[in-house]
Amino acid sequence: MTTDLDSYSVIDLTTVGRVTGRPHTIEIWFAHIDSTIYMLSGGAQRSDWVRNLIRTPAVRVGVGGGEYVGVGRMVTDPQEDRLARDAVFAKYSARYSGDLTRWREKARPIAIDLEHTT
């Protein structure tokens, strides 16, 4: 997977609406490790995009004019959970004016396993 993703601040994550069946796109912070994108959901499973992803795991990720296809999942492994939290925190904590420590520990890690570009 390309490391070009690392140079971007946000991705456009498109899920399928669990009620409407229509594409639903959000802009979100992320960290990229190997072929996986990690995000932290401050609203945990209450967030619409997370609930959409649980219902229909197939997602699209837009970044830098390109698009990736992937499969979303909740991070459940404790080691991967720590990796996801630390990676996203490390990417944004230095450039954000507030303290992200509480967010890092309370938000729900979500992973997108990238399959290919479109």
Whether residue 104 has pLDDT greater than 90: no
Domains of the chain: 3-114 (2.30.110.10)
**Concatenated DSSP letters for the chain?**
--GGGGG-SEEEEEEE-TTT-SEEEEEEE-EEETTEEEEEETTGGGSHHHHHHHH--EEEEEETTEEEEEEEEE--SHHHHHHHHHHHHHHHTTTSSS--HHHHHHSEEEEEEEEEE-
Taking the C-alpha atoms of residue 118 and residue 108, their distance in angstroms, rounded to an integer, is: 28
> What's the maximum distance between 2 C-alpha atoms anywhere in the chain?
38
User: Within 10 Å of residue 69's Cβ, how many Cβ atoms?
Assistant: 14
What is the arithmetic mean of pLDDT over 96-110?
A: 84
Query: pLDDT tens for residues 13-52?
Result: 999 999 999 999 999 999 999 999 999 998 777 799 999 9
Q: Are 111 and 36 in contact (CB under 8 A)?
A: yes
More confident residue, 23 or 6: 23
